[in-house]
Chains A and B, each alone.
Chain A
Amino acid sequence: MIYLDSAATTFHKPPAVYRAVETAMRTCASPGRGGYAAAQAAERTVYRCRTLAAELFDCPPESVCFTSCATEGLNIAIRTLVRPGDRVVISGLEHNAVTRPLHAIGAVTEPVRVPLFSSDAWAEAFAGAVTKGTACVICTQVSNVFGAVLPIDRIAALCAERGIPLIVDASQAAGLLPVRLRAWKAAFVAMPGHKGLYGPQGTGMLLCGRMPQPLRFGGTGSLSAEQTMPDFLPDRLEAGTLNVPGIAGLGAGLRYVKALGRGGRLADERRMLIRAAAELRRLGASVWTGPSQTGVLSFCIPGVDPAEAAARFAERGIALRAGLHCAPLAHRTAGTFPAGTIRASVSSMTAPEDLTALVRTAKRLYF
């Protein structure tokens, strides 16, 4: 299989990730519950991952709370900050992980919509939309559909200056672009563990710049005689047994990301993508590209439904994602709703030949 769906999950992981998961399953019991060696091994495993994440994402270790995915983190963050009827400014590129919780709460959302790849336009549009009456700003750092990079430093500075809490969805950015809880003065930053951080599915982190309201209540291995949840982090959000094998794998993924460095990887991914985009465009495909973009490429074959096209690519062993990518708002913003697009997305595990195969197959099938 030629795997080009890394924006969904990085299917191919560094070998150390697989090893870490198995080692944890064989050596770790439940962390924070027992004083015996296997429990302590679990505690060490979890703490190593937590401190590494804190180092990479500019926050204290206690502010790193493990979740099952970015969606869980976003739900916690949104439930903490947003009340029914609140006015919330969001980017026009948000995922359903943001828009559905807001809808469920009954918030009034105000999507900011500008041309996809214009950093200045995004910053200016946010500056116009965020006012005294704004309860909260929620912004993805990178679009999961188009790979467009939003000027999050500028949006964060704006929120800090106006005293508006900011939630950042770093799902497509973590591991690839700087993520800085403290520097941004963000209220919360949510991310999955299984995309650009190369951990297993079922892992994620919520970085907390303020005290969250828990969604899950239960045992934390702390203050057990009391019936209220602890008022300190990370325990407040970590009721129940943690996914220790997943966190072990995530820790190995974080070490890999740290060793790889961000700049080189982003440049490699962009280089592969730009070449493929140019060739697809030359063939006659519609392609969405811009100056500030990660390794995510949306394209369409004229006259062909994206889902049908992706199915034909899959028959030839090429894994792509078609449709709305759980982000109908982003497609409305780009004018690709309701059919959506075909998305190819790469990681550090992608070879340039994989994209050559994509272009060659597109040519054979449609041009």
Chain B
Amino acid sequence: MLDVYLIYRSVTHGQGAAAVVQRAGLRSRLIRSPANLAPSGCAYALTLRRADAGAALSALRRAGNAPASVWLRTADGRYGRWEP
């Protein structure tokens, strides 16, 4: 289940992040962000498995492409801020 959401302000930045994560050998999917994770409207979420999220974030920080925020989608469909 892809339950960690890395939020990017633009599709281009999200695509850049997806490329970094792919190079790290991790699976991800770029989607439009849920509205409550993007208070300024229209953003993009790079979604990952929780098990991969720590490695993905490390790779993204090394590449200078850290997300604006990180969220975990819980089983009941709510989102909470998340730290690996």
Contact = CB atoms under 8 A, between A and B. Distances in A.
Interface size class, chain A: 20 to 34
Grouping DSSP codes into helix (H, G, I), strand (E, B) and loop, the B interface class, with mixed when no group exceeds half, is mixed
B41 A35 contact: no
B62 to A, nearest CB: 15
A221 B11 contact: yes
A169 interface: no
A223 B16 contact: no
Interface string B33-44: 000000111111
Interface in A215-236: 220-226, 230, 232, 234-235
A284 interface: no
Interface size class, chain B: 10 to 19
A224 B42 contact: yes
A52 B53 CA distance: 28
A62 interface: yes
Interface string B1-27: 000000001111101100100000000
Contacts of B49: none
A45 to B, nearest CB: 11
B10 A230 contact: yes
Interface in B32-84: 32, 39-44
B39 to A, nearest CB: 7
Contacts of A222: 9-11, 42-44
A31 B40 contact: no
A149 B74 CA distance: 61
Interface string A32-43: 101100001001
B64 to A, nearest CB: 9
Interface string A140-172: 000000000000000000000000000000000
A235 B10 contact: yes
B84 to A, nearest CB: 25
A50 interface: yes
Given A34-B32, A35-B31, A35-B32, A225 B12 contact: no
Contacts of B9: 222-223, 230, 232, 235
Interface in A3-61: 31-32, 34-35, 40, 43-44, 47, 50-51, 61
B12 A223 contact: no
Nearest to A50: B12
Contacts of B15: 43-44, 47
Given A51-B19, A222-B9, A230-B9, 17 more contacts: A31-B11, A34-B32, A61-B12, A62-B10, A62-B16, A220-B10, A221-B11, A221-B42, A223-B40, A223-B41, A223-B43, A224-B41, A225-B39, A226-B40, A226-B41, A230-B10, A235-B12
8 contacts: A35-B32, A43-B15, A47-B12, A220-B10, A222-B42, A223-B42, A226-B41, A232-B9
Interface of A: 31-32, 34-35, 40, 43-44, 47, 50-51, 61-62, 220-226, 230, 232, 234-235
